[in-house]
Homo-oligomer: A and B are copies of this chain.
């Protein structure tokens, strides 16, 4: 059992563990987006969004490239989108379990 690989995978999960970052990844599913558009999308401070994006970039999930004075982010590993479906499944099962208790 290689502990280090678990730690690295946990870092990827950590990068996904924020509402704003998931919103941005969902938007990047279709097309590359500039920071300005993503900022408007999540509705937080521009500096906050920039930090979220650097977290995704450091995790290896997105990459960036400049176009003029704007920076566009690109979804580098679309497989993370599979997680969205699984997370939905988890949430739905949890909801059912909660309701059965009531």
Contact = CB atoms under 8 A, between A and B. Distances in A.
B1 A23 contact: yes
A10 interface: yes
Contacts of A5: 88, 91
Assembly of this chain: how many copies?
2
A71 interface: no
A79 B89 contact: yes
A67 interface: no
Contact of A86 (B8, B18, B83, B89): B83
Interface of A: 1, 3, 5-10, 12-14, 16-19, 21-23, 26, 59-61, 76-77, 79-80, 82-91, 93-94, 97
